[in-house]
Structure 1
């Protein structure tokens, strides 16, 4: 069944509805020519790597019925020319500032699918994947059909397709949301990156709730300053952003333990404040806004026992997630569902059944072997928190294996080294995704943050680094393998190779699944 028609498309682009045009049915908007099928609309814009205009012929051969291209000249806006190919004429429409308007156009084309769903937008430096996964997992346990969009993948919960970016293209976002509406999904938990906000990928999106996890140094190769990075994140919540159609955010759930979050709470109308610090409970109660806090947390080898207090009631939660930061992630997830009127006792009862997330403090251990923990930590703050969480479970030496991504923020590299030296007993520096940078230059940048080279080894091959560390570690040691988490690839030069920390660890331990 067709989604729209040519005349309708022309009209939502700003064209005259009375303009003399032949009408015909249209299906999906596509930004990737390889995804085009019969009667689809191919959006040919210039990306960071490829120029969509180079694939117009390929798209037409695949069945594209209309081509949209970008123009920066007002005089060329909505001009139509016809491309003759395969004995058919395909209209090509020039659209003024198409790339900036893409999200709004796609939203209108699919008839505002986000308004028909409970979309939960989650942003922050760390924790986005865990929070979205926990929200979708809990909602699913409560018999609400749920979907995810983010780093690990996009699709129905437990049926994810791999994603290229944390926040997908505007076309893909709206197409997925339209599919979720057709599949009768109720809850969509979506990671929203600072890049996605600045690049207008979510412009016009309607969120039932928006969640802020935390803000620490990352992506300064792109944003340049922490001020600009914070401004990008704030745009998901600010009342001014709503007026500019950046995003229509509903209720806000904010991490009170973060300095930015604490300031933002003062600017928002009735946000839900969340803290995992018992010392903050009295302050939360004094804010006169909805809150979720804790009176006590008991950490143990299998997770944590959380004594939660909130505007909705009190509960004891036995969490299976490791570390203080995961208590924060869990409480943010529960607070979001409570803010959206999910029943208190159902939410808190299900919390104890929530499972750890792939590549997020994922524990692997077998008898007579050191324990390995695989985590995605790739910022100084995330690495510190992962090491602190790992220390709770370590009776011997705490090892950390990590590197830094090439062609990315170089300023955080010595900070990562400094954190590793402060919180780990032994350090093994290796490759992450070196991309087009010299691997030894990346490691030298990390070493600038180290004072004592005696506790450091450099083993650039990641498999070798993990293998040799296991050979050296004692039975009571813990090995934190940081940086790649769920990723099943490594980028060297411009080539992406299959690689997985989990697979490497399982092979060394001789197990099929984590224990």
Structure 2
């Protein structure tokens, strides 16, 4: 990784200075910068500290601490447009340290971080996947598939960041603007050829990927979620759209690359009409004729067969015809698989090699992950925590269920309250047995969350409430029959439960495996 220095830093931002201030820049002793950080606790020698005004903390308050720890330069956000680009001198340890104030720094940080790290996204195939549901599965499938054909890959997303099998835990679905570019630079140094990253609506709204050159971008679907942040579905959709929109959009990324869009989603269908260069994916045989007639590249299905080993998908496409054998369950996973398939085809990966390796793709942990032991009910652990995701998960489980269908779920605290009764309605429409339990209550009263959920049931006599999540799963496993399926929804891969402001060690996967006597 090339070393940056304070001279380059000043030159980068001096173009934004008011003309009257450009001659006032003090001569600084130029120092190498090896690290770019947002957290003052990570500052060491040769560090550039970025002081942003955040939702919970104001990074500008930690500038003295950063300097004390060895920062050689400061980027500080300002709310005053008139101070944009102003460079002042801070004195510490007998050195003159430049502090540059930047108006709306958060919006400019992704592009600057890209410059700082040498524009790593231009040297790799970076795929951005957005949508309410399916981001994790699609990114993991893309990375798995690339690995299967000896193209070194990595992922950024909910389950973790890094090469498959070497993931480090993720704090956010989409890392900060600084961390995103830092990860990409690190992957490039390890000769990674393809990076598949989940791009959340938060990440888009906050400009975290604005400076990323994407080789391809993928849209899975859009349904109700994150309204505590976006407030309206219109704003939520606008955030997602910025991954595909023209550069005139304030939040648009540097390059959207190939645009792969799910035609089966009503939002996706609308976007396809707006995008001349869209590549279309549909899992519904009834849509095949329509998508052929649009005159755009496509992958469509003419038959799907569900069986006890997974799914057989017979498809037609502008790339060729064939059959994909998949170990994944459910219609929505057909969509996830085809979106991954289409993306790799659009990037030039060989058609027949992809078709012949599809069966080796493994289900993603915590995403319709199946746990089965003789003489006990089948348990499926899934991350579904929105009404639409729960609907899809239950629909998929029902396809393979010969006994009773159970569901165990709760809702997160300090999040969109409006979806709680909607989750109940979905659960009631599919399941013979329902247990309402805790998810991550956070700082909300767990009983009040459950009351919000219970309000969505047309009758509650058949609904069981067991707040302790482990006990809820235990009760279902002990009372279920061998042919029953129990869907444990909401936490998926997570290995913690947030109660109050504390994280407690907890895993649905581990609880289920222990109850069934399965070794993870």
- With normalisation by structure 2, the TM-score equals 0.95
Distance 1:283 1:418 in 2: 33
Q: Which residue of 2 aligns with 1:502?
A: 509
Structure 1 equivalent of residue 185 of structure 2: 178
Corresponding residue for 2:427?
Answer: 420
2:304 is aligned with 1:308 = no
Which ranges in structure 1 are unaligned for 5 or more consecutive residues?
none
Residue 8 (str. 1) matches residue 15 (str. 2) = no
Distance 2:44 2:124 in 1: 26
- In 1, the alpha carbon distance for the partners of 2:418 and 2:89 equals 50
Q: Which runs of 5+ in 2 are unaligned?
A: none
Matched position secondary structure for 2:255: strand
Q: Partner of 1:382 in structure 2?
A: 389
Q: 2:169 and 2:236 mapped to 1: Cα distance? A: 26
1:490 corresponds to 2:505: no
Match of 2:476 in 1: 469
SS of residue matched to 2:215: strand
Post-superposition CA distance 1:450-482 (Å, at most 9, x none): 012132100111111111111221221111000
C-alpha displacement of 1:73 = 2.3
Q: CA deviation at 1:270?
A: 2.6
Determine the structure 1 residue equivalent to 2:242: 235
Q: CA deviation at 1:75?
A: 4.1
- Counterpart of 1:297 (choices 285, 288, 304) is 304
Deviation at 1:212, TM superposition (A): 0.4
Report the Cα offset of residue 287 of structure 1: 1.2
Q: Which whole-Å CA distance do the structure 2 matches of 1:286 and 1:74 have between them?
A: 51
What displacement does 1:85 show? 4.7
What residue in structure 2 maps to residue 98 of structure 1? 105
Contact 2:390–2:489 (Cα < 8 Å) also in 1: yes
Instruction: Give 1:439's match in structure 2, choosing from 430, 442, 446.
Output: 446
Other structure's SS at 2:261 match: strand
Could you tell me whether the CA contact under 8 Å between 2:243 and 2:252 is conserved in 1? Answer: no
Aligned residue among 210, 216, 219 for 2:217: 210
> Aligned in 2, Cα 1:195/1:174: closer, same or farther, shift over 3 Å?
same
Q: How many residues align?
A: 513
SS at match of 1:468: helix
Change (3 A) 1:82 1:270: closer
**How many angstroms apart in 2 are the aligned matches of 1:54 and 1:486?**
36
Is 2:398 the partner of 1:398?
A: no
- The answer as to 2:45 corresponding to 1:29 is no
Equivalence map 1:275-354=2 (5 Å): 275-354=282-361
Q: Residues 428 and 245 (structure 1 numbering): CA distance in 2 closer, same or farther, change over 3 Å?
A: closer
When structure 1 is superposed on structure 2, of 295-304 and 324-333 the one drifting more is 295-304
Over residues 339-358 of structure 1, what are the superposed CA-to-partner deviations in whole Å (9 max), with x where a residue is unaligned? 11111001111111100001
Instruction: Name the CA distance, whole Å, in 1 between partners of 2:90 and 2:49.
Output: 13
Which deviations, in whole Å up to 9, do the C-alpha atoms of 1:68-114 show, x marking residues without a partner?
21112244333444445556554333222212211122122223221
Q: State which of 469, 477, 488 in structure 2 corresponds to 1:481.
A: 488
Q: Distance in 2 between matches of 1:151 and 1:13?
A: 33
Residue of structure 2 in register with 1:51 after alignment = 58
* 1:255 aligns to 2:262 (yes or no): yes
Deviation at 1:254, TM superposition (A): 0.4
Closer/same/farther in 2, CA of residues 507 and 88 from structure 1, 3 Å limit: farther
C-alpha separation between the residues in 1 aligned to 2:238 and 2:87? 39
Measure how far apart 1:241 and its partner are: 4.7
CA contact (8 A) 2:242 2:252 kept: no
Contact kept, 8 Å, 1:28 with 1:175, in 2: the verdict is no
Counterpart-to-counterpart distance in 1, 2:82 and 2:246: 34
The Cα of 1:204 is off from its aligned counterpart by 2.3
